[in-house]
Structure formats: C-alpha cells, structure tokens
Structure 1
C-alpha cells in the first residue's frame, strides 16, 4: 500500500464522514469528528460489504460503501451516547 493509496483512503473516509454527518444533521458530533468517524466507517463499510459478498471496484463504490459504514458507525455511537 503506497502513499497514494493511503491518501485516497483518507480522502474517501473524509468524504464519507461528511456525507454521513449531513445524513445525521443536528446530531452534535461536528465536522471534524464526522470526518474521523468516516475514516473509521470506511473500514466498517468495507468489512460489511465484504461479508455480504459485494466488491467495490470504483471510487464511487468505495465512497458509497464508506458512507454506509460511517452511517452504521454513527448509529452505533448515538445508541451508546444516549
């Protein structure tokens, strides 16, 4: 995994966190935390999609799976937080 791959991974995670934060508007996590959650959520999304047998081969597919993972992670965090 090269430096470009790592930068793309972080960028996809940041986009996913931003999109998930827009989905949960008003949840109180803030932009920076949503980006961090998006980066972690991209790993979660990759694992979930892998378990379900779906492969993401494009940048758009990676953003979609990362966003879904970030949304799942935000749901879990909100349940724990309350």
Structure 2
C-alpha cells in the first residue's frame, strides 16, 4: 500500500483550508484551525472521491494522474470542510 497519495491529500488539504480561509475572511478559523480543518477535509475528501472512482485512492499505481487527482481532491476537500466548519462557528457565535 502506498501512502504518498494520502500524504499529498493531507498536505494539499491544509493548503486548501488556508487558501479558503484567506478568501473568506468571515469564515476564517485562524492558521491552526484552517490547517486542521483542511487536513481532515483533504483526507476525507480524497477517500470519498477515491471510493466513488472520481479521484485516485491511496494504494493504486503512482503516476501523474494519481498525483494530480490527489492534489485536486485534497485541496477541494480541505476547502469545503473549512467552509462548513466556519459556517457552523459563525452560526453558533451569532446565537450568543
């Protein structure tokens, strides 16, 4: 089993989470919060898309398509989860 696609998804998830946090200032969780949400989202997004056959799942062959699929799924998954967590945080803070 190759772990390189998973590592790529986690790293690009952190990058995607921080990039999304910088684009959406109202949803920003800070550097650590964006990174954690991005890492989790990158791993989950990459795994979900891999199971659906849309992106490469860890354990397959390592070629340029796998690497690009891991980068895309990790970055998008990290950004999406960061937005979800940011929205939940803003709703909870609005209720106080």
| Alignment length (residue pairs) | 80
TM-score (norm 2): 0.59
Structure 2: which 5+ residue stretches go unaligned? 57-65, 92-96
Distance 1:53 1:71, change over 3 A: same
RMSD: 2.8
Larger Rg: 2
Which deviates further from its counterpart, 60-69 or 11-20? 11-20
Runs of 4+ in structure 1 off by over 4 angstroms are 6-10
Which protein has greater RCO, CA pairs closer than 8 Å, 6+ apart?
2
Q: Is 2:73 aligned against 1:71?
A: no
TM-score (norm 1): 0.66
Structure 1: which 5+ residue stretches go unaligned? none
